[in-house]
Amino acid sequence: MFQVIAIRNLSKFDEELSDAVRDIELRGYNTETFLTGEFARKISTSEIKPLSVSNISDIYCPTRRDLYFYKGVNRLRNKQQSTWGGKAGYIVERYIDLLKDRSINMGHKYSTLIQNSNGLHSLFLSEEEENLRNIKSLEKSIGIKEGDTEWLLKLLNNYGRVALGIKILHSLLKEENSLDMTHVQKREITPNTVQTGINSPATSDFIVPKFAIVGDIKTGGKFKPHFQLTCAGYALAYENEKGENNNINWGIIYFFPTRNPSKYVRPLTFAQVYIFPINDNLRQWFLDVRDEAYNIISKKEPSDFPDEKEHCEYCKFKEYCISQGLELSNHE
């Protein structure tokens, strides 16, 4: 998170790129963004369950069978399985929260910082012992090596050293008008669900109203374009709750790679920061995906199996789909 703060203060993208967000029209309080009457009625009468920002934005299965199994009118119950990737995302968020919330004397030497970071890492291992034991048990899924818990912990330890180093840098460079951790919030957003189609409350990983920023922490093998939809959804939700003069203009994805895409080497990777304007093009994409998502969950049956099965190996519903006839070449 300290990386986000340093990048904003060094680039001041919200000031230097202000033209990119000057003419946004699809705000959460404008009726053009509201859900169509049919789906709004179904939500109000409880015919369908409202969707979260993540339900709408997380496009992994190309036909969105997973969304239907979560929220469809004939959704599955007790059919999903835990996955290493899902647990890894939780572990990463817990680690980021630990670094953000703990106050320690870091000193101004690399050796001191490393020593203190190692101490926090040991504390994390102790506090998360049960969760780490659970994720370790999920390392081998059927036919693939899904994740490497020990390597993930090594990545987190090294990430922690860099994050604390940036925190020291910020303490030396910050000015009166700088973005600071005190500006960063994690708060519930309460939009009108019937209007927005977004379940209330909605909670982004971080939001900075003073600087018109909303952000989300993502994990996985590689950055996906649909990650940006999450920020668009939270922006619309916040604007719907707060009304005019409370606009969110900028999205930040804080992406931490947890799965190594290479078969030959394990690179030491660090968190990546993606900054983008939440302009009308992105907002319209979110609204289109939202409407299609409600169309999908309103049907009596889920959609067909996808032709592209890249994500199937990591899906919580993989075993159910296999029982229904899905074929995976490396399934044992």
Ordered by start, the domain boundaries in the chain are: 13-323
Question: Bridge partners of 51?
Answer: 198
Residue with tokens 């369950």: 49
The type of residue at 20 is: A
* pLDDT of amino acid 171: 87
* pLDDT of amino acid 193: 97
Which SS3 state, helix, strand or coil, does residue 328 take?
A: coil
End-to-end CA distance of the chain: 41
Q: Between vectors from CA 226 to CA 221 and to CA 227, what angle results, nearest 5°?
A: 65
Tokens read off for 242: 């707060």
Residue with tokens 């907002």: 283
Q: What is the pTM of this model?
A: 0.91
Nearest-10 crossing angle of helices 84-101, 110-127: 130
CB count within 10 Å of CB 208 equals 21
* pLDDT of amino acid 146: 62
Tokens read off for 24: 């946004």
* pLDDT of amino acid 268: 86
CB burial of 159-195 (b: ≥16 within 10 Å; e: otherwise) equals bbbebbbbbeebeeeeeeeebbeebbeeeebebbbbb
pLDDT tens digit at each of 332 positions of the chain:
789 999 999 999 999 899 999 999 999 999 999 998 899 999 999 999 999 999 999 999 999 999 999 999 988 876 677 888 889 999 999 999 888 877 666 667 899 889 989 999 999 999 999 999 999 888 865 445 667 899 999 999 999 999 989 988 888 899 989 999 889 998 899 999 999 999 999 999 999 999 999 999 999 888 999 999 999 999 999 999 999 999 999 999 999 998 776 677 788 889 999 999 999 999 999 999 999 999 999 999 998 998 888 888 888 888 888 888 888 865 44
Give Cα separations from 212 to 49, 114, 135, 178 (angstroms).
30, 34, 36, 14
Provide the sign of the torsion angle of the four alpha carbons 287, 292, 296, 299, taken in this order.
positive
What is the radius of gyration, based on Cα positions, of the chain? 21
In sequence order, which residues have a C-beta less than 8 Å from that of residue 10 and are 6 or more positions away? none
State the SS3 of 217-244: EEEECCCCCCHHHHHHHHHHHHHHHHCC
In sequence order, which residues have a C-beta less than 8 Å from that of residue 4 and are 6 or more positions away? 206, 215, 252, 254, 273
* pLDDT of amino acid 238: 98
* pLDDT of amino acid 329: 67
